[in-house]
Amino acid sequence: MKIVYFFFLVFTLSISAQAQNDNPPQTQSNSASESKRLKNILSAKIGLTDPVLALTYERLLTSNLGIEVQLGFLGGSIGPKVYLPAFRSEKVNFHTGVIIGSGYFAGGSYGYLPIGINRITKKGFVISLDVGPQYLIDSEEFLPGATFKIGKAF
């Protein structure tokens, strides 16, 4: 249970740090067209965290916050994702979050703290890589975690 509190603390601190972030102003037409275009990301994932092979759906709630759901081969997971600075098309975006899931290879439940980058092209092609610690709750051990995703934003 201590690890769940740890992940919650890190996530809370990440959101607090976002509040101090200054973003350059955008024109209203550019901001409106980007917000219509970049609300959803659907991707294929391979990684060292369960599910090892998965389809991932991410919904961008704001330019700094999204929620991610993964369903795949013998497992699934869900969790928030925070972008610092704000999520931008055609730029490298940094993200972190807290993923809670369950899977066969993890031997049950786990928590994962991803720290990563992604990039979205003009045509909406997405490539993402993250690494971080994962905690296997049932066996009470830490392992390294990493995921690689390729997908499409719409």
Which CATH number characterizes residue 112's domain?
A: 2.40.160.20
Q: Does a structural domain hold residue 30? A: no
Q: Does a structural domain hold residue 28? A: no
Q: What is the mean pLDDT of the chain?
A: 84
Q: Does a structural domain hold residue 29? A: no
**Mean predicted confidence (pLDDT) in 19-35:** 47
> What is the number of structural domains in the chain?
1
Q: Does a structural domain hold residue 27? A: no
Q: What is the pLDDT of residues 134-151, one digit of tens each?
A: 999 999 999 999 999 999
Which residues touch 26 (CB under 8 Å, ≥6 apart)?
34
Q: Is the pLDDT higher at 38 or at 15?
A: 38
Domain span holding position 139? 2-19+37-152
Q: Which residue has tokens 């730029």?
A: 91
**Buried/exposed 4-37: b ≥16 CB within 10 Å, e otherwise:** eeebeeebeebeeebeeeeeeeeeeeeeeeeeee
Q: Give me the pLDDT at residue 105, please.
A: 87
Q: Give me the pLDDT at residue 36, please.
A: 58
Nearest to 79 by CA among 104, 63, 92, 61: 61
CA atoms within 13 A on the CB side of 13: 6
Q: Does a structural domain hold residue 32? A: no
